[in-house]
Amino acid sequence: MQVDIIAEAEELDNSGKRFFIDRWERDVSNLNSGYGITAVLEGGGLLEKAAVSISVVSGTLTPARARAMCERGRPGVDIQGGQPYAATALSLVFHPAHPKVPTLRADVRRFEVGGSAWFGGGCDLTPAYLNEADARAFHAFWRRLCDRHRPAPSLYEECKAACDAYFYLPARREHRGIGGVFFDDMAAGAPGGGGAVVAEAFACDVAAGVLPSWRGIAAARRQDAFGPAEREWQLLRRGRYVEFNLLIDRGVRFGLDGGRVESIMVSAPPLVAWRYMAEPKIGSAEAALLAVLREPRTWA
């Protein structure tokens, strides 16, 4: 799937640039082992920076991580840590060059410890400019996909609410983007929530849906006009993306605690700005985005 996504991303990018494919092996000094393939395209046409990565690691749960998992109610985890675990993930981030094309983030992951396995993942959109038709189309796509796995009680509504809840930056009182779907701690083969979702099949479907959910939006929005003011706003919004990732994101914070830093920080935008009190004017397109980031809407 990584290979397929890379091939389609290069085609969409359409600049002749290729992903740099970086295979790495994990330092085994701390009883952990594993490998990964971090694929990065920088300075493309559509994609100012894109990363499509996999990792396959195993090791021993640290007490901090074990405690966090117990607090989230995972059964079979010894709160003291020390159990062997195995984790695999496919993750993706696209930071488009064009300010009107939304940033895309997605991942799917499998985690195994103490004889149980869980799936997690999701796909969400972080625009610098709100396009309501795009937001509706994106969410409608994910509702249809989720409905194939559990229409009632609605898996989409559960994953949409989880996405809004997770991608929230309390210091700014802003959600990171306009959401999408997010799920975690979905037990393999067991009912997810109230109905029967086969977690692995759902995770595979989520991964397969990532590019189809975004490519139409990207193709339309890259035709829109923009100037230096829109570019600056995009760079400022990327600042919020960095703030969320470094302050809040569980994957980033746990990952930086002993993980391969370049494979984690590859999700950072290529160019980012911070300006004091960069509040948009009332009634502007920038203010319309902030309104929906402060109060998430129902899109589908």
Chain Cα centroid distance, residue 218 = 17
Q: What is the DSSP string of 29-41?
A: TTS-EEEEEEEEE
The whole-angstrom separation of Cα 241 and Cα 102 is 12
Q: Does 71 interact with its own copies (rule: CB under 8 A)?
A: no
Q: Does 234 interact with its own copies (rule: CB under 8 A)?
A: no
Identity of the residue, 193 or 280, whose beta carbon is nearer to its own copies in the bound complex: 280
Span of 28-36, 59-67, 82-90, 242-250 interacting with its own copies by CB under 8 A: 242-250
CB of residue 225 to its own copies, shortest distance in Å: 24
Q: Does 44 interact with its own copies (rule: CB under 8 A)?
A: no
Identity of the residue, 265 or 285, whose beta carbon is nearer to its own copies in the bound complex: 265
Provide the 3-class DSSP secondary structure of residue 146.
Answer: helix
CB 82 within 8 A of CB 93: no
Identity of the residue, 222 or 253, whose beta carbon is nearer to its own copies in the bound complex: 253
CB of residue 187 to its own copies, shortest distance in Å: 31
Site for its own copies in 257-286 (CB under 8 A): 257, 261-262, 264-266, 268-277
Identity of the residue, 165 or 271, whose beta carbon is nearer to its own copies in the bound complex: 271
Site for its own copies in 114-133 (CB under 8 A): none
CB of residue 1 to its own copies, shortest distance in Å: 21
Q: Does 185 interact with its own copies (rule: CB under 8 A)?
A: no
Residue with tokens 């640290």: 62
- Consecutive H or E run containing 173: none
The whole-angstrom separation of Cα 203 and Cα 79 is 27
Q: Does 230 interact with its own copies (rule: CB under 8 A)?
A: no
Chain Cα centroid distance, residue 268 = 12
Span of 65-73, 206-214, 245-253, 287-295 interacting with its own copies by CB under 8 A: 245-253
Distances (CA, A) of 79 to 101, 109, 254, 266: 43, 22, 16, 31
CB of residue 153 to its own copies, shortest distance in Å: 35
Q: Name which of 20, 107, 53, 49 is nearest 235 in CA terms.
A: 49
HSE on the CB side for 221, CA within 13 Å?
Answer: 23
Q: Does 171 interact with its own copies (rule: CB under 8 A)?
A: yes
Q: What is the C-alpha radius of gyration for the chain, rounded to an integer number of angstroms?
A: 19
CB of residue 23 to its own copies, shortest distance in Å: 13
Identity of the residue, 276 or 298, whose beta carbon is nearer to its own copies in the bound complex: 276
CB of residue 118 to its own copies, shortest distance in Å: 26
The whole-angstrom separation of Cα 179 and Cα 41 is 24
CB 34 within 8 A of CB 56: yes
Identity of the residue, 20 or 35, whose beta carbon is nearer to its own copies in the bound complex: 20
Instruction: State both tokens at 186.
Output: 């979905």
CB of residue 62 to its own copies, shortest distance in Å: 14
Instruction: State both tokens at 271.
Output: 């160019």
Binding site for its own copies (CB under 8 A): 20, 22, 38, 40, 42, 49, 51, 170-172, 235, 239, 242-243, 246-247, 253, 256-257, 261-262, 264-266, 268-277
